[in-house]
Amino acid sequence: MKINKMLLCALGYALTTSVVPSVASAAEGTLSGQVGVQVTIKEGCAVTNGSSSSGTNSWGTLNFGTYSDLTAAINGTVLGSDGTNAVTITCTEGLTPTMTLDGGLNEASDVRNMVNTSGTTTTDIAYHLYSDANHTSEIEPGGQVSLTADGTAQSIPIYGRIVPDGQTTTTPASGTYSDTVTATLSW
């Protein structure tokens, strides 16, 4: 009888251990579900050839070059950050965007001015911005440039000109003269 009890216990143990793995296998499985994915595109505009550094957007540079005096007109063109001759803007179709150019950091009496960065002189060099290569459509300080919104990239050329008239002197002190104009894109 003692052997039968031991045999029954061993048999019970064997059955229990062989059944447990099948119970564990039955607990494994696969569940499937759905994950919703979406994006909302709002109307807007982007400068596609600008750059950004430390939170400041750079949309281009107007470099008039190097001269010894201001006795003749000096022309320049804004180069986009990618080296093209314009600021390139893309706006969602149907918007009415405008770009406003302020008077720069050194505006005086509605005239943009560059100052000598060496600080050795108080002479400013006046300059003007235009929306056309013939310099007939001036973009005055606070002036707007109308844009088209059709979903494609639009080049916005900006031309600069320094003329002898309006300068305090046509032979300013040597040095690098500069200014920063803020362009604001609104829609």
CA dist 74 and 170 (Å) reads 12
CA dist 69 and 174 (Å) reads 9
pLDDT at position 15 over 90? no
pLDDT at position 13 over 90? no
The predicted structure's pLDDT at residue 82: 79
The predicted structure's pLDDT at residue 91: 94
The predicted structure's pLDDT at residue 178: 97
Q: Is residue 97 within 8 Å of residue 187, measured between CB atoms?
A: yes
Chain segment 43-92, per-residue pLDDT in tens? 999 998 888 877 788 899 999 999 999 999 999 999 987 778 889 999 99
The angle subtended at Cα 62 by Cα 100 and Cα 60, nearest 5°, is 65
- What torsion do the CA atoms of 10, 13, 14, 16 make, to the nearest 10 degrees? 160
Q: Is residue 33 within 8 Å of residue 175, measured between CB atoms?
A: no
Tell me if the pTM is above 0.85. no
Chain segment 138-160, per-residue pLDDT in tens? 999 999 998 989 999 999 999 99
CA dist 85 and 59 (Å) reads 11
- E-strand ranges in the chain read 45-47, 51-53, 56-58, 61-62, 74-79, 87-91, 98-101, 112-116, 124-130, 143-146, 153-156, 159-162, 177-178, 183-186
CATH superfamily to which 45-186 belongs? Fimbrial-type adhesion domain (2.60.40.1090)
Residue that wins the pLDDT comparison between 30 and 1:
30
Q: How confident is the model at residue 3 (pLDDT cuts 50, 70, 90)?
A: low
> What does the mean pLDDT of the chain come to?
87
Chain segment 22-41, per-residue pLDDT in tens? 555 567 899 999 999 999 98
- Eight-class DSSP state of 106: T
Count Cα neighbours of 21 within 13 Å in the Cβ-side half-sphere. Answer: 4
Task: Measure CA of the first residue to CA of the last residue in the chain; give whole Å.
Answer: 97
Which of 8-17, 23-32, 136-145, 166-175 is predicted least confidently?
8-17
The predicted structure's pLDDT at residue 119: 76
Domain boundaries, the chain: 45-186
Chain segment 84-128, per-residue pLDDT in tens? 888 999 999 999 999 999 999 999 999 999 999 987 778 999 999
The predicted structure's pLDDT at residue 54: 76
CA dist 51 and 57 (Å) reads 6
